[in-house]
Amino acid sequence: MEKVRFGMIGLGNQGSQYAVNFFDKELIDNGVLTAVCDINPAKIQAIKEKIRPDGIEFYDDYKKMLDSGKIDAALVEVPHYFHPEIVTECLKRDIHVICEKPAGVYTRQVREMNEAAGKSRALFTMMFNQRTNSLYQKMREIIASGGIGKLQRFTWIVTNWYRTQSYYESGGWRATWAGEGGGVLINQCPHQLDLLQWVLGAMPVSVRAVCEYGKWHDIEVEDDVTAFLRFESGATGVFITTTGETPGTNRFEVSGTGGKLLCENDCIKYYKNRCDSIEFSLTSDKGFATPGCDLVLDEPRGANPQHLGIINNFANAVLGLEPLFIDGREGIRGVELMNAIELSGWKSGAEVTLPVDEEEYLDYLNRFRAVSRFDPSAEDRVEDTSGTFEGAKI
Amino acid sequence: MEKVRFGMIGLGNQGSQYAVNFFDKELIDNGVLTAVCDINPAKIQAIKEKIRPDGIEFYDDYKKMLDSGKIDAALVEVPHYFHPEIVTECLKRDIHVICEKPAGVYTRQVREMNEAAGKSRALFTMMFNQRTNSLYQKMREIIASGGIGKLQRFTWIVTNWYRTQSYYESGGWRATWAGEGGGVLINQCPHQLDLLQWVLGAMPVSVRAVCEYGKWHDIEVEDDVTAFLRFESGATGVFITTTGETPGTNRFEVSGTGGKLLCENDCIKYYKNRCDSIEFSLTSDKGFATPGCDLVLDEPRGANPQHLGIINNFANAVLGLEPLFIDGREGIRGVELMNAIELSGWKSGAEVTLPVDEEEYLDYLNRFRAVSRFDPSAEDRVEDTSGTFEGAKI
């Protein structure tokens, strides 16, 4: 094939953006939009007015689109609950697929999707567009190469996801247990929960969390979370997030016996100890001395192609031009983390061990879904999100 | 009286410093050192070689010193357990007293000391030398005047208290349940635990904490703590500390509906929202909009007279020249916070409500004291602490 033919499934905020800002502007070197699908005719109509519709087919049923022969790859941009099911339908048909984050709402559905991926010949990736950020890539490299020694602690404050009440009212599914399956953890934080394990190179073994539901908004799900994570190595960490504060903070600090990494204000700082701090502690005869350290790296963010980088890499990988950057099956890790934090919150901060008991999680979730205020008939609107993904930046 | 005549009780690191660096250098405008006391003759001998001994009487029994008629005021610089008892003996005799932090190890003894203070004509203050820091004073003023609106969250990372194993071996009482009564919370953090409630203007109503004992050192008490605090208003916060990391961080962030305060790197930043963020959320019709904010204050630390400021103010207050800066009875708040965090740690992170049950606390503590490795016969040494109180800075 000359260019990968993409079909867009779902024309909410993200799907519309990709169609208008990437495909219509021909920013995908080796990809072209040949079909779009939404169950809502108003959204189909709206997109027709925003992009050049020549050569694009419009659908209200995604399976018809998948079976049309008009696409090689799909972008899945629907509410989270439907990600695994639709991705699985793509994979079954060997249609390559990019799944919007998160991979799903609960691990059982994501595990089943991953099993389908294992059997498919199609490529599958996740829209973890923040993995393209040079700062996180550098943190990951330094930690993986032992540059901060033995991991001791991370602290990630991610409170720059401020959203108004109007945001929550823009879609009937938003911020409901039945429609979305969670709040700030599942909608805003899939990036950070993915990056956390990707940068640190490890999943925690247990989590304790305080989740507060509708603390700053009139919603039924969590909009304020403080989570304590423990790793097998003994390292611990705190993850703090909310959609109720502004001006927020996005500050990711990781410390180890060999030094400290700090990612803040679109910049990375790396302090390297002159010797291992535990070794120094055991051998120094001075009570108040330190091993000393040097600031060996202090630089602003470099490349960060974000969503465009993910889609371009994917199209190129489909054509065999470069390796796929992200194996979509890794998406389960962020869902696992989200589920562990959410479950601990539901259990009043009790310690939850990983992997999360997927049946227990679903039992709890289903109880909340049963009394959810989700109104499937409510009309969604597409938001103007240009320039406002504050939380998506460092 | 012309100048306040001070007696020093205890010649460990702090007592020796005050004698050598303040009194011997005549830096206390209205105070003079007329007596010192230590049960260890070697420490008496050592101090005689470091200061001009003319006009100073030397004691091995503090009560004899209190009854000698040679002093108007005392500085209590002994291990924490003895603070309340010795301060009480001073107050009973109407001898003015400065108590080194913390006020005591457990709230019952501090409450009893405070009762003695209520009955005494003498002045009583606590060595909360970090309250003299202009940055914390400014934070307190801004919060008290409503400058950040309704309090939402604090995050205080205080990991710049790195200590070597040698530090812990410098005194037999150090880092033992029986000798010191705790670890990083009681030795390094009394400042921050006092400042926390002083700056925020409120005590929490409950605490959950993970305390790790001897995680980074061969000690029996905690050297790594993560605590989650909840206030009556609904605000929450996280307090993180350790003596096992370097280079550490000291970063205190407080956010509210009216803005955000950040105290870090010896500097304060104040972001003021253009309107209350909750009000904005409820009235804006844009999902991704924010109220906007201005950086209205961004300045380095000004005055910070620290220990010298506390002693000078105290001497002046004794002479009626200025008001006493700190009522010593406020020391119980930091002890209460410390006890709540420690108790939650002992109870595997269970939620502890404040005020802490003082009998329950003492029961737990006594169980640990009974099996403590504290060796009262071990020889202490006096450390060179000059320029190394890293954690004492912002």
> Which residue from B195, B197, B55 is spatially nearest to B128, judged by alpha carbons?
B195
The answer, for B128 touching chain A at a CB cutoff of 8 Å, is no
**Hey, are the CB atoms on A277 and B236 less than 8 Å from each other?**
no
pLDDT over 80 (residue B180): yes
Q: How far is B189 from chain A (nearest CA, A)?
A: 16
Closest chain B C-alpha to A383 CA, distance in angstroms: 7
Q: Which residue of B has its CA nearest to A385?
A: B288
Supply the pLDDT for residue B383.
63
Buried b (16+ CB within 10 A) or exposed e, B89-106: bbbeeebbbbbbbbbbbb
Interface list for A 161-190 with B (CB within 8 A): 162-168, 170
Contacts of B163 in chain A (CB under 8 A): 281, 287-288
Asked whether the beta carbons of residue B247 and residue A278 sit closer than 8 angstroms, the reply is: no
This complex has an ipTM of 0.94
For residues B44-49, average pLDDT: 96
Cα(A260)–Cα(A253) distance, rounded to whole angstroms?
Answer: 7
Cβ–Cβ under 8 Å, residues B260 and B266 = no
Residues on chain A touching B255 (C-beta within 8 angstroms): 159, 245, 249
DSSP-assigned letters across all residues of A20-43: IIIITTT--TTEEEEEEE-S-HHH
Whether residues B246 and A277 touch (CB distance < 8 A) is answered with yes
Distance of CA A371 to the CA centre of its chain: 27
Q: Which residues pair with A210 in a beta bridge?
A: A226
Give the per-residue pLDDT at A308. 97
Question: What confidence category does residue B387 fall into, taking pLDDT thresholds of 50, 70 and 90?
Answer: very low
Query: A–B: how many Cβ contacts below 8 A?
Result: 167
pLDDT of residue A64: 98
The predicted pLDDT at position A381 comes to 67
Best of A148, A219, A263, A281 to disrupt the B interface (most B CBs within 10 Å) is A281
Put simply, the answer to whether A247 touches B293 (Cβ < 8 Å) is yes
CB-nearest partner of B247 from A238, A271, A287: A271
Q: Is the pLDDT of residue B34 over 90?
A: yes
Q: Which residues of B touch A255 (CB under 8 A)?
A: 159, 245, 249
Give the separation between CA B199 and CA B137, rounded to whole angstroms.
7
From chain A, the residues in CB contact with B166 under 8 A are 281, 284-287
> How does residue B390 score in pLDDT terms, banded at 50, 70 and 90?
very low
Strands A259-264, A250-256: parallel, antiparallel or unpaired by DSSP? Answer: antiparallel
Q: How far is B213 from chain A (nearest CA, A)?
A: 12
Q: Are A122 and A97 in contact (CB under 8 A)?
A: yes
Ramachandran angles phi, psi of A301, nearest 5°: -60, 140
Nearest CA in chain A to B210: A228
Residue ranges of A 262-291 with Cβ closer than 8 A to chain B: 271, 273, 277-278, 280-282, 284-291
Check whether the bond before B53 is cis (ω within 30° of 0): no
Q: Say whether residue B349 is in contact with chain A using an 8 A CB cutoff.
A: yes
Handedness of CA B254, B259, B264, B269 (dihedral sign): negative
Distance CA B337, CA B356 (A): 8
Q: Does B240 contact chain A (CB < 8 Å)?
A: yes
User: Which residues in chain A land under pLDDT 50?
Assistant: 386-394
Question: What local confidence, expressed as pLDDT, does residue A171 receive?
Answer: 81
Could A157 and B245 be called an inter-chain contact, meaning their C-beta atoms sit closer than 8 Å?
no
Whether B281 and A164 lie within 8 Å, measured CB to CB = yes
Residue B248 has pLDDT above 50, yes or no: yes
pLDDT at B378 over 80: no
Q: What pLDDT is attached to residue B389? A: 39
The first and second tokens of residue A313, run together, are 């890499």
Q: Does B153 touch chain A if contact means CB atoms closer than 8 Å?
A: yes
Q: Round to whole Å and give the CA distance between A160 and A247.
A: 7
CA distance B374 to B175: 9
In chain A, DSSP finds a helix count (H) and a strand count (E) of 13, 15
pLDDT recorded at residue A390: 36
What pTM value is reported for the model?
Answer: 0.95
CB contact under 8 A, A255 and B159: yes
Angstrom distance (rounded) from CA A367 to CA A71? 39
pLDDT at B381: 67
Strand partners, B99: B76, B126
Residue B1 predicted with pLDDT over 90: no
| pLDDT score of B394 more than 50 | no
pLDDT average, residue stretch B292-302: 97
On average, the pLDDT of chain B sits at 95
Question: Does A384 touch chain B if contact means CB atoms closer than 8 Å?
Answer: yes
Section B335-359 average pLDDT: 98
Residues of A in contact with B288 (CB under 8 A): 163-164, 167, 383-385, 388-389
pLDDT of residue B385: 55
Q: Which of A167, A217, A234 sits opposite B288 (nearest CB)?
A: A167
- Cβ–Cβ < 8 Å for A183, A219: yes
Give contacts of A382 with chain B, Cβ < 8 Å: none
Place of tokens 């700082």: A269
Antiparallel, parallel or unpaired: β A222-230 and A206-213? antiparallel
Give mean pLDDT, residues B34-51. 96
CB contact under 8 A, A247 and B216: no
Is residue B146 packed enough to be buried (19+ CB in 10 Å), middle (13-18) or exposed (0-12)?
Answer: exposed
Residue A259 contacts B, CB cutoff 8 Å: yes
pLDDT at B391: 36
Question: Which SS3 state, helix, strand or coil, does residue B336 take?
Answer: helix
Place of tokens 């400021």: B309
State the nearest Cα–Cα gap between A371 and chain B, in angstroms. 25
- Between CA A16 and CA A23 the distance in angstroms is 10
> What's the pLDDT score for residue A376?
76
**CA nearest A79: which of A17, A10, A16?**
A10
Gap from A96 CA to chain B (nearest CA, Å): 32
User: Would you call B205 an interface residue with chain A, using a CB distance cutoff of 8 Å?
Assistant: no
Closest chain B residue to A210 measured between Cα atoms?
Answer: B228
List pLDDT tens digits, range B130-141: 999 999 999 999
